[in-house]
Amino acid sequence: MKRGGQLLAAVAGLVAAIPVYYLTDAAARALRGGTVAFAPAPSALAYVAGVAVLVRLLTVWPVAALACGVPLTAAGVLFALDLGSAVDLAATLPWARAGGLPWTSGPVPWAEPGEPPGTLAGMTGLYALTGAFLVLSALLPARRRPLLGG
């Protein structure tokens, strides 16, 4: 890949980190809501599927996978090692106090009071797992990478 292509892939990976972060958070919240209500959570499946599609697309370009995976892994490690600092940092993110994520609607609030976006997904290790998967996929030898990326 040429230098311009690598830069574009890195930018795409950084930009993709935002929806992966928020979709993972939405999936964790929907799963919690389904568990609390002892009911199915089809929206959780949709959010997880969205994350899976984005992650699969990112694994095609190793630079993009690294650019997205490293921040997600760092977020996961921060949640695992210093929950207070991670929650404080998450409270500074966009939509943390706006009352809802752009794709959520309905009378049910998207977050528990005082719980910034990413808290549940961070505490459960979803960011660390997703980020580590992306980083490891980027470090695999070329012959073991996904078929689409070659």
| Ranges of each domain in the chain | 3-144
Query: Which residue is it, tokens 């009911």?
Result: 39
pTM (global) more than 0.75: yes
Q: Per residue in 25-84, pLDDT tens?
A: 889 988 988 898 899 989 999 999 999 999 999 998 999 999 999 999 999 999 999 999
What percent of the chain lies above the pLDDT cut of 90?
A: 52
Mean pLDDT of 110-132: 83
pLDDT at 100: 52
- C-alpha span between 135 and 128 (Å, rounded): 10
**How many angstroms separate the CA atoms of 7 and 95, rounded?**
28
Helix (H, G, I), strand (E, B) or coil at 47: helix
Whole-number pLDDT of residue 109: 46
Q: Are 93 and 118 in contact (CB under 8 A)?
A: yes
